[in-house]
Structure 1
Amino acid sequence: MVFTLYTPQTANKALPEVRRMFAGIVAQKNRVVVLQQELQNIADSGGDFERFMKKKQEMNAALTSLYKAMETLEATGVMIKSVDEGLLDFPSRRFDEEVWLCWKAGEDEIKFWHGKDEGFMGRKPLETTGIIEP
């Protein structure tokens, strides 16, 4: 993995591909949830071992795909903060401080940032960032 510091401009340029990758992660996560429920239903209904094991193997493969997709996205330098809430952070720098550029699913572009130790609730508008080119 190559470490990347993003500016608002480079983060917004990367955003279409990041959003595509993240949408795939969400879809894979939803598939895992469905498979977990199907597996639980088989167990609850007293299904036979063969049916249970086939479904378990299907779920294991789906989990492996999910984790690989997450690893691939994070290899770009983007941090997945929450799949469920659709939160991604891009590492950046504000003056001499390391910060996160913050994106939430549904937003068209990177519009906010927050400190390393702050979360989503600490988001601030980019207009007054002082975020500079690395």
Structure 2
Amino acid sequence: MPTYFTIQEANAALPNVIQKFKALQRQRAEVQKIEAQLNSQMGMSFNLGDYATLKKQLNSAVTKFYVAVEELENSGVILKSIEEGLLDFPSKRFDEDVWLCWKEGETEIKFWHEKDVGFMGRKPLSVSDESLV
């Protein structure tokens, strides 16, 4: 069963969530860097020892990446897009499951959307948030 966030709880959790998201982005960049090195190694005079070393580094970086995803999602949020910087916090609006959504660069939760609608369907939180858990 998911953890449901109120707007206040989501905003209180946001600094920690942002920190975890940034760590995830750094780990993803590390994976991409090692992949690029591995690909360039294949194009040059192929050295099996160097290839094996890079492959082990890539395996380790990918494992760390997935650990970072788990750490982020264990905080109760759902990762929607690393590239676009989108995270959703499960919430309820009356009896309906909804998402409180955050986009990278925002300093607080200001939008929500239905669970079957994506980022383009975001709606601003109303002045009165009593309808959200």
Q: TM-score, normalised by structure 2?
A: 0.95
Q: CA separation in 1, counterparts of 2:131 and 2:29? A: 35
Q: Tell me, yes or no, if the aligned pair for 1:8 and 1:110 is still in contact at 8 Å.
A: yes
Change (3 A) 1:131 1:37: farther
Structure 2 match to 1:132: 132
SS of residue matched to 1:24: helix
Counting only pairs closer than 5 Å after superposition, residues 37-116 of structure 1 correspond to structure 2 as 37-116=36-115
Q: Find the counterpart in structure 1 of residue 35 from structure 2.
A: 36
- Residues 24-59 of structure 1 show CA distances to partners (whole Å, capped at 9, x for unaligned) of 000100111111000000011132111001001101
Contact 1:7–1:131 (8 Å) recurs in 2 = no
Computed over aligned residues only, the root mean square deviation of the Cα atoms, in angstroms, reads: 1.3
Q: Secondary structure at the match of 1:6?
A: coil
- Work out the percentage of aligned pairs sharing the same amino acid: 47
Aligned equivalents of 1:44, 1:82: Cα separation in 2: 31
2:121 is aligned to 122
Count of residues in Structure 1 that have an aligned counterpart in Structure 2: 132
Runs of 4+ off more than 4 Å:
none
Residue pair 1:92, 1:131 contacting (<8 A) in 2 also: no
Structure 2: where are the runs of 5+ without partners? none
1 CA distance for matches of 2:14 and 2:75?
11
Residue type of the partner of 2:99? W
- Residue in structure 1 matched with residue 18 of structure 2 by the alignment: 19
Give TM-score, length-normalised by structure 1.
0.94
Letter of the 2:17 partner, please give it: V
